[in-house]
Structure 1
């Protein structure tokens, strides 16, 4: 096998492993299986959110953060719409990605629907690919019965009771689109 072919095959395998990693994350969240977090995050990982509510560094702190979230949530169901991955040309063990998805949740007894995006940095470890940095953002987070009303406004994040601005789309909020341009230009 040529070096070029071997390199291309490794990228295909890397993409498949990363796709499974982000799906595992959804299953861990829905099953509340915090013991599996080391299969998802690096020990020094960071978890943040576009609205600033999440800001946890280190696996133990991330587990505490998720436990607090689980305490406020009933049943959840997360599903992926796809992952876009860009590998770091300077370091074959680093990649960035954008994962889009939806979630159906019950928050404080209220059924809610969520349009979400994760901006990730992945790092290959001796145990495989893991998330080293994740920033969650929301297109909307609304009670299911208020979806139509909520979508007519820019304040589409109702996760915490009071209407807050949606994190995206960036074209409407003046956000940074460099991540999208870098993926489109590869």
Structure 2
């Protein structure tokens, strides 16, 4: 794989993650879903949410501004044909709640997969950085999706 190909992949993944942040900020459920693979998952609060639960999850998520930093991306090993079709990454996040300007900080741990439609998120896991310095995924079962449908 050439440096040019790798740069193209980095730019494409960066744009994919920018779309995630912008569509979350705009409460655009279809946009959020579109950045994931069909079997994609999101993890937070001690649970893993499959793609079919994303509409309800986005509905109950706090509203505000999702500000993300540049991701650190590591590519997997080449396939037999020399192409690289998977990668992992970490992306910092600062979320500002629009009602009280409360701030949450943390980072996403991601896996990416190349699909026929380009790079997509296969998994995204949220880690919050707490005031005491602890890093965790949140309190289990803090999200009740039954009331969002």
Calculate the TM-score normalised by the size of structure 1. Answer: 0.65
Kindly indicate which of the two structures has a greater share of residues assigned to helix: 1
User: Aligned partners of 1:46 and 1:104: how far apart in 2?
Assistant: 23
Deviation at 1:63, TM superposition (A): 2.2
User: Aligned partners of 2:116 and 2:33: how far apart in 1?
Assistant: 12
SS in 1 for 2:102: strand
Size of the aligned set, in residue pairs, is 133
Match of residue 140 from structure 2: none
User: Aligned partners of 1:105 and 1:85: how far apart in 2?
Assistant: 28
> Post-superposition, which runs of at least 4 consecutive aligned residues in structure 1 deviate over 4 A?
none
The answer on whether the counterparts of 2:24 and 2:32 sit within 8 Å (CA) in structure 1 is no
Q: CA RMSD in A?
A: 1.9
Calculate the TM-score normalised by the size of structure 2. Answer: 0.80
The structure, 1 or 2, with the larger RCO (C-alpha pairs under 8 Å, 6+ apart) is: 2
Match of residue 127 from structure 1: 117
Structure 1, unmatched stretches of 5+, are 141-150, 155-164, 169-186
User: Aligned partners of 1:101 and 1:38: how far apart in 2?
Assistant: 19
**1:125-148 CA-partner distances (Å, limit 9, x unpaired):** 1111110001001113xxxxxxxx
